[in-house]
Amino acid sequence: MESLSLNDPPAHPSSPQRQGNLQQHPHQQQNAVFPGPPPPTQGPPQLPPQMFTTAAQLLDLTDKKLLLVLRDGRKIFGVLRSWDQFANLVLTETRERYFVTTAPSQPSHADSTLAQNVRHLYCDIPRGTYLVRGENVLMLGEVDLDRDDEPPVGYEEGPVEEVFALQKEAERERKRKDKVRGKRTAWRDPEGSGEVLF
């Protein structure tokens, strides 16, 4: 077999008419498959991979530590191991982070203020391997490993039991308020008020 390419002119034209066409269009000799003038050169360079807004953007984040904020308000840290076209994510070494603010207690000294008694606490609870559906991800970002061990600004690490209990209490209070608000506004929206997004 001969080695042929698309740029080679035909060895023997099949008809005199075809020979005439080759002489009329010199571009056709360079590009025997597509008659006429050559296509214009490539336009501006393509977008860099960082500009993808689809699940393909996750390719650069594979095997990196991520922070996910879910639609229900949970904050998840973990290493992205796998994902699919629907942005379903598999995270390993996952931790769930809780943030709470303690209620101000009565000041013990006459010169102390209530603002000094308010404590902002956080804790991390290990969760292992985590599977997150893509539709539940509100936001995600890569964690800076140089600053990963530093506490969040304005927060101090608290005991897991205390922070978890305060978080559950705050969640119960929020659900109670949402239920009361839903009863008051039910007549305005007969189909329900939908989900609360954070």
* pLDDT score recorded for residue 53: 65
Strands (E), the chain: 65-70, 75-83, 89-101, 120-132, 137-142, 156-157
Distance CA 79, CA 92 (A): 5
What six digits make up the tokens of 83?
Answer: 């994902």
Determine the pLDDT at residue 4: 58
Residues of the chain with pLDDT > 90: what percent? 20
* Cα separation, 189 vs 70, whole angstroms: 26
Residue with the two structure tokens 């993808």: 52
- 10: pLDDT confidence band, cut at 50, 70 and 90? low
pTM over 0.85: no
**DSSP states of 156-176 as a string?**
EE--HHHHHHHHHHHHHHHHH
d(CA 21, CA 19): 5
pLDDT(51) > 90: no
Would you give the distance in Å from CA 142 to the centre of its chain?
9
pLDDT at residue number 31: 52
Whole-angstrom distance, CA of residue 81 vs CA of residue 53: 19
- Give the least confident one: 63-77, 94-108, 137-151: 94-108
Task: Of 2-16, 56-70, 99-113, give the lowest mean pLDDT range.
Answer: 2-16
Q: What pLDDT was estimated at residue 151?
A: 82
Give the Cα separation of 194 and 38 in Å (integer).
Answer: 57
Higher pLDDT, 186 or 147: 147
Range among 11-20, 160-169, 181-190 rated most confident: 160-169
Q: What percent of the chain has pLDDT over 70?
A: 64
Query: What is the CATH number assigned to the segment(s) 52-106+114-183?
Result: 2.30.30.100
Cα 170-151-128 angle, rounded to 5 deg = 70
